[in-house]
Amino acid sequence: MDSVSPSPRNCCGICGATSYRKVIARDESGAMRPTNRLRCIGCEREFLEVQSWRQGTPWVPAPPEAGP
């Protein structure tokens, strides 16, 4: 009997956690709103999309600009 190829694994590619949640952050007016980022429940790293979460490619914010 041929085995069926499993669907993409549904876990974090870094820590193996099986869930994530939307990141909630303040917008320009100060209201709390959901963002486009996802946060892993296990390692708490942030990801831009589910595929990145599965592959273990975290979202890394740009470094702060150096002031004068």
Domain boundaries, the chain: 20-55
Mean pLDDT of all residues in 40-47: 94
Question: Which pLDDT band, with edges at 50, 70 and 90, does 60 fall under?
Answer: confident
Q: Is the pLDDT of residue 1 over 80?
A: no
Q: What distances in angstroms separate CA 12 from CA 2, 19, 29, 48, 56, one per listed residue?
A: 28, 8, 33, 13, 6
Residue 30 has pLDDT above 60, yes or no: yes
Average pLDDT, the chain: 85
Query: What does the angle CA 30 – CA 51 – CA 57 come to, to the nearest 5 degrees?
Result: 75
